[in-house]
Structure 1
């Protein structure tokens, strides 16, 4: 009997333990606290989607306890908000509770308030909820009216969804304050916020009351002074305006599931973190200041900081150090002064003194304290220059797309030379600092140019005669040894002989084009690597000529593009491609290994793409099944990243002008690489559109404004990308519809779109296995890209954002007029040179009859 009672008591005990565990689990899973409820140290609130957690925490073995919010279920805690940062609780007897007056408070071990939401108006029915974006919201439980939120009282962290206010009172707003140390969240020495002293705000870090770093001005797309504002860092920023006219910055994540945050660290550095679940760590995606030139006004007034120079500080042209001794000791804070005073600064100046002028300075981080000219008459650079000249204290101006006319008065401070920014400003100088073109100088320049030209011509003729003699010897030697092949490649002595040939065999043209970015190969060396351009090594016939496979001594495979003498590509296009692609470095662009020019023979040497080109798979009924939706989306995304680099992130702003499936090469992992830059166009400065009488490209991929009027811009490439996107989804060429009622793939896609049957557009080989929502979103993006109006097409940064963020709302596309007017191309004569396989770098030229 005693044994039975003992079992009975055990079962009862287990029952109550189970109830307690379930109760504890339920309590911990709650996301809110209401009137008269409390949270003990050890209990937490967890947001509904399990993104954030709120409760008590401490560091190491410290007895100091804080109430904070952190990312949920992350092995390396990241505290994004702290309530009682100045008043820690000693021990684990603290409480978080809702008072009867509706305020949320933190109580210490003696039940004293160490923190409160501090609402002045009592509310007897409030509740606090930890939301999925990390915001702690206090609201009226009955009507949901917002009473207080932690996003309005941030500590050191900026989260996606948070609003950073931009004051309309032209002042500095310090929003975030650093911790005192890595394990002490009390107030530190650094603050971060928005400076809105001009109409164009900028982000600033202060150390105490002194500026430590600034982002440069917001131009509607990015902060103009941030050196690496690309990729994830840029896409999410947006300056918004509320219904009352107030302005605020927000940041949106590319992917909903990402855990990201910006933080002003205890050491003064602003960092952007992203959680890597695989590596179990917080990756730093961006950090400011990134080098000593980023520190505020490192070189003083009128000084320019340049990390590529030694020493890093220099004076602007027309200026000299204020203290030359200090400058030699690399004490640059004193800055620089004018060598020659401006005309208005000369007392009792002579009328013979020339007028002031402006020196153009490129690739600059704009100086601090710019003033925006709101005069509507000032709509270009000339008007901006006139405004500056009217004020004797104006020292510089710039006309910037997205901001307008910017002028600077008095001293120019915090100036950097940053190669990839492309900002251009005009610095005011005395006439004598600019006027170096008197008649004697002109005569001397002209005479020197003529004499130098004659000398160069003589050297060129001598080299060409010598080159022809050596070419005969070289050709005879190569023919004699053409049979000396061994398994796995050519004998090493053949390569040694090829390398040892005199560099005088190169033409002056190659010597002018070569440099550290563009290796120049000996022609004989490439001939040996391709087995003297044998038919067995021929990969295909491109529009510029044949493409051959080769093998270098180290075993590296190459693809060699040989310019045909009958090719439509001339020397200018060849040099264009050679120099352009040599300056481009991106994983989604084909890599140029080098070039070779010998007489009329012109070669470009590329990395070899074993999987040929996209069209080789995409339009083959059998091979297209190898491209499932995951791989196709990766290809789409890779092409978009490559185009974004060309349009915005490279040192040069480049329009490709011939984007198509055959110009997308695939590496061994099927990663896409954009190729063929023979018809690419470089844009400079604020140039965003150009006109040409020579329309080049491929039928079916050209934007309407380009095909009909010769107008091209980055939006021309966006149109080509849209066509390519629809081709990748459908597995059909745009031109395969030419003799149908729909006229083109675009017409067919619109036909299905308008009848809500767009799912039929998807390639049947992947239709059933593809995520419907994702594919339909891509079709939608493709339709936006192929709109007739260039202004309505998104740019590539927007395209990438739409591809990677399902949260982005897509506008509805307009019906393409070209759907019904493609037959207008019947009045255009199309010249196409055939091509068939990968590594073909072709061009189609279109001219009006």
Structure 2
């Protein structure tokens, strides 16, 4: 048979018919005339006259869908400025054409393809159109400004064109010169930027950006359409927004225009340079300048303080790295003291003392806050030319809570709460907050004086009591430490070391490898000085066995000091055994012990200080949770698994932690996890502590069923706790927050329900759902469900857990449905016979649960 077969001829014939029907362009041009098209078959495009922009079909990122779009010509990677069918992509393996019809409508029509990849005209489906029509001649032109314009040409002598449709009126996520971001003050119609749904999906996302519909000159980024996420502050009328640190870019062509009912911002780039403003899928706006490549010139919001109202009403936000530090303004106090101490600031602050004018008195004054991003909801007062006049205007109005005067903006007053107040790292403006006379240094209120005197008397009383206690305490130190020859030597070391707080004594221990090491032994005085006498302001956290404080040694080294409570139940020998245990365990994912203190009735542990504190401080905080993207969370999961693997298998001691939970996972400056709090850890292979087999201690919700019910603990108990922790990391919610959700007791039952209904993706934290690898998260959910199975026998050991998490294509068993009954687990013994697993079983009935 001739190589040019019948089937090939037929396909060629159909392709020819397709091309003739749509008159695809054969040469590069910037214009389409009626009946002409560009198509995916021949890869034809439109290129603007001077080669700045190009219109064609593109596929974003890892997607298989295609879109008709405009991008910068001959610049890689492609930077799109407009997409037509962002909500209706061209399906994979489908052909498509963009055609200007004879009736004046621009249509995107999708076809199909057979299994061999040969384009066939199977059907024509219009998936996007301009929905325009004209009885006159029309042309479609791509300008060098990047605007795709559909014109109707008049036939009269003027030769004027009427714009039927243009892409600049249908912006997506990108703003370039010539575009307008604004509002029609009469109709309310707005021109907005809308983010992509994800980095690979240009469908409309969660964030929009536009001009304030309430009449101010501020630009806003909104989340989910109406929730403020970021704002620019007022336009100063010349070169900048007062809510953004000054940038020279604005002075070179960014300006506000008011024409009748239209108010909008537009931009003209200096020296014909290429620049673009992009609203990313995650709500961050970036400015890019092109010079050999695209360079990011500026972006916001990135730091937590830059997010709208990070500290709630009347709260002042200051940056500490990317995180926020909130404080109430003078004269205000937290609305919810409990939430404020927990780092939840959304409820903000309220006045604790009424203004004098509210009591028909005079004498209110102002506290000055320098370097601020001025609050939202300002009332601009016209025809006030000085700061003093603005001050008088506010003083004469009792509802005025603050004022500011900016030369290029004028007088601004705030009659309600002060919202979105942020202390700039540099520059900023002065805000004057009205306060009662009692808070002014020149006129102290009698109540303040009385309170100060009372506080001083209480301080003196406490100091005297402390000195008396210390005198009695010192006289008993030697007797308290007299517990044998080793203790006497230890006491002498303490007395010697007290002469120099920066030179702690030591005691020796042997590492797992048989090497001799000395662990620093600090005095109580040294640690009291380091923590400012265990001041509550230095408190980092607390647990069932005591409080943890931040401290600083004379050398400048920052430390975390755990001070065990006197009711912890540990004697000196048990404490020393625990210290040596922790000191012997050295791994990158275990917290490092720096030393300890045993003095009188005090027992303290000194750890390395980790600046990001614990995992729960991020994971369960609505404001901080977004800082943990999926990549960071997965790294934390891997790190915790490696730490447990070391405890269970790689360490010569083989340790069961027994209290794995989010608050016991500390994070270093690089967000690397470190397992902490070994107060309940037990070594297998040595003498068992029988007390801990009939007095169950731990954290309810993290305990395995056999441990909570019968006091049986093993390495599988830690695996169960790890499974709970894994589900919390994925959901961003506490285990306890699922109580009675859909009639389930905790996160385990709810997760199983979604898993078996094939809707497990609903478990994923919404803040990471759009950017995470769904298959990777689903794999972690399945591993978590395997870890929390009712029977310890059914749970995988940690080496297999680690392998299942990190393997791209693991063959995972199906988790068993949980029973959630208060059944006994002694029947497991027969199932576990012959297995290489050490465990401890209570010899007596469990009569007490002691939660932490």
TM-score normalised according to structure 2 size: 0.45
For normalisation by structure 1, the TM-score amounts to 0.45
